[in-house]
Amino acid sequence: MYMDLAQELGFSEQTKLLIIHADDAGLSHSENMATVKSLKQGMVNSYSIMVPCPWFYEMAVFASNNPHIDNGIHLTLTCEWEYYKFGPVLPVSQVPSLVDEDGYFFKKREELREHATPHDVEKELEAQIQRAFKFGLQPTHIDSHMYSVGADPEFFKIYRRLGEKYELPVLMSKDLMKMTGLNPEENFEKGDFLVENVYCAPFEDFQPEMLSNYYSEVFENLSSGLNIILIHPAFDDEEMRGITVNHPNFGSEWRQVDFNFFTNEIDQSTLKEKNIELITWEDIVKLIKRNK
């Protein structure tokens, strides 16, 4: 779909289109403040909000006051942290298959796959979307925390169906599907909007200098067409260290590196040098509507 996306958006066919997207807004105050600063002072041009998290309200206020900044709903069905917990926006009694014995989301996609029913998944995800709308958000897209919508083919169908219902593009990618163990060829449908290249730093690159090198190499080797870099900016402070204890990948130090790299003026200058054009999900939404 939209094989000539660059040309349809007014760029040359060789242009490398890029969305630099901050996941996990709403997770914590530290995550929120780093995300806001990345959007205002750095290269980050899109973000998505975790509705069930304790700091959702703070980020929802920012989104409501800054509707011109591209934002989405980071649909959430898992909580990977050791001591920092959250669960559904709906009462646990309404979606009992989504929670562990303590009433919180499961830590892993595998646990979600084993216990969750499609009925409860759809009910909860729709409630998250409705809550975002209730707070006045104007999302441009839907994506998924830990891409847990890919834990089961039925969950993925729900994900697609919610995008259709609310007329919002959903982040679909062969790279992300493979990460969850689902076969892309069996789960994508004709007409799905697929992102050609999604980049998210692997665990083996979590050391600060290696992580920065990874992002530099991504810039160096971007392909023409649509690319997305998924990052998780936050500050390496006491709050984030407490949240991410015993979780080095996507931990506090990792998130500080994300913030540092994508707010660095030297790194920002490479965009023009590499013929990289930043676009947003809002640009894609307008294009889809125009082509209907």
The residues spanned by each domain of the chain are: 5-290
Q: How far apart are CA 137 and CA 130, in angstroms?
A: 10
Neighbours of 130 (CB within 10 A): 13
Greatest Cα-to-Cα distance within the chain, rounded to the nearest angstrom? 54
CA torsion, ordered 165, 155, 96, 99, to nearest 10 deg: -120
pLDDT at 205: 67
Q: How far apart are CA 241 and CA 123, in angstroms?
A: 33
Tokens at residue 50, please? 């975790």
Neighbours of 266 (CB within 10 A): 7
What is the block-wise mean pLDDT of the chain (292 residues), using blocks of 10 residues? 74 90 98 98 96 98 96 98 98 98 97 98 98 96 97 97 96 93 91 92 78 92 93 98 93 95 82 88 88 74
**pTM for the predicted model, two decimal places:** 0.95
Helix/strand/coil for 264: coil
Burial of 154 (0-12, 13-18, 19+ CB in 10 A): middle
Fold of 5-290: TIM Barrel (3.20.20)
Q: How far apart are CA 66 and CA 138, in angstroms?
A: 10
pLDDT at 2: 47
